[in-house]
Structure formats: C-alpha cells, structure tokens
Amino acid sequence: MTSTHRQRRRLVGSVNEFTALHHAGRPLLLPNAWDHASGAALVAQGFPALGTTSLGVAAAAGLPDGVGVTREETVALARRLVTLPCLLTVDIETGFGDEPGEVAVLTGELAGMGVTGVNLEDALGDVGRQCELIAAAKTSGLFVNARTDTHWLKPDGVDLDAEALRRAQSYVDAGADGIFIPGMTGESSIALAVREIPVPLNILYSPAGPGFARLAELGVGRVSCGSLLFRAALDAAVRVAAAVAAGEPVAADIISYAEVAGFSTRWDNAVSKSSPASFGSRR
C-alpha cells in the first residue's frame, strides 16, 4: 500500500469517527482553540475534537476577522493542533479564495496534514457559487460543515428560517456533511431545522439561547463554542491584571506554570487524554 493510500485510509477513518460524534440526543460539544496551548488544555480535559476560532486566530495576529486575510495563520495553527491526540476541524471563513480551485487546494493541504474537517461560511453570497465552493472542498475528503449566515447577518425583509432551510438544502445537495446556522437561538426554529435538514445541525452556543442539554433534546448534532472561549480568556486576563493592580485577591487554583510549559513538549510527556486534567486546587 502506498503512502497516499495509507493517508487516504486514515482520513476516511477520522472523518467517519468525527461524523459518528454528531449524535441527535448526544451532540458533539466542540470547543474552539486559537493556539497550541488552548488546544492542548482542552484535549487534556478529554474533549475528543477541537475546532478553531477565526476571531481568535485573527485577533491574536492583529488582523481583522472574516475578511479572508488569515489563510497563513489558519494553516499554521492547524499544523500545530494536528500534533494533539484529537480530531480537528478548521474554520476557513469563506475559503480564503474566490475560485473553487483555490478552496480545493487549501482543503487538500489541510487534509494532507491530518485535519478532519472544515467550516465554510457563505456570508449570504450567491447560493450557486457557494455550492461550487462546497463541492470543491469535498474533493479533499474532509467533513465539510457548511455555514449559512442568515441568522448571523439578519438581512432586512427576509424570512430567516425559510432562507436558512433553502440554503441548507442546496448545500447538502452540493455535498455538505453538516449545516451550521450561527445566531439561530429560537427553540422552534432549531427544532424545524433539525426536522428539515438531512445532515447534522450545528448550533453556536449562546448564553441567550438554549443550554447544551436542551439543544441535545432538540436533536442538534453539534454545539460549537465559537469565539466564546477566546473572549472569556481575554476577559479573565484583564480581570486578573485589574485585581492585582487594585490589591484584590486572585484565585490560587489557576493552571500552573509547569502544566502550561508541558503543553509545548511531546504529548506523551503531557497529560494523558485518557486521564483528564483537573484545573482546580493548583499548587
């Protein structure tokens, strides 16, 4: 068997494993990492799969999110995260290219390094063109999560649920393995989407929407954290700095220097995935 055949078999196996995690009633909770340390910490807690957050990638590099300027940073992060013992799906925004061929090249590169899936958003562009990009991404063999931004961008005068379902069906027909509708928080809308969309539905967790358990009851297949963890980490950092400056107490049980330093070494020397780390009672 050639190395190409072995690589293809590994990819098929990882995609099948990833797909199997999208259970109605027991959805995949997907935390989103922005660097190796955040990814390693999440894997140490036992999460079997990670996504990346485009906001985290862009903001960490001092670049704007969602305008297609972070291809290099996104690929570099993927190359770091695939060294961890988990499945990885990468947010590629609108594909980092205007042509289907460019999307095919990018997704092929990601598949070659060990990535399992990609998230590809439509920014409410032309449906036919988006279908071409989805079909191009599928040539890589990756799990393609097709995102529609109906409920994220909320265009005036549009029935958001109807438009989301229309786009979702077109994307499924083009080969999408999952549908992502960020910003959809109404339970009736989510339940309708679960009924009508024949592939796993991905919902972005929102403090203003249903909790994880309720989303599971509604039949959602994946619950993503998006940029929430990245924003929470920034918020926590600023709060700790402000507490120090104000002479206020700081929690003594935060993750230790030694544990974080261990994330930069080989995973075999870090916390075992089968024995999740506890980030309490630090010394």
Calculate the CA dihedral of residues 111, 199, 34, 142 and round it to 10 degrees: 0
Computed on alpha carbons and rounded to an integer, the radius of gyration of the chain in Å comes to 19
In the chain, the amino acid numbered 166 is R
Strands 143-147 and 117-121: parallel
d(Cα 138, Cα 120) in Å, to the nearest integer? 11
Identify the three-state secondary structure at position 101.
helix
d(Cα 141, Cα 1) in Å, to the nearest integer? 19
Residue 281 contacts residue 253 (beta carbons within 8 Å):
yes
224: β partners: 30, 204
Residue 149 contacts residue 117 (beta carbons within 8 Å):
no
**Residue 159 annotated among the catalytic residues of the structure:** no
Of 65, 149, 235, 268, the active-site residue reads 65
Packed helices 160-173 and 127-138: angle between N→C axes, nearest 10 degrees = 40
Identify the three-state secondary structure at position 92.
coil
What is the number of alpha carbons within 13 Å of residue 105 lying toward its C-beta? 8
Active site residues: 65
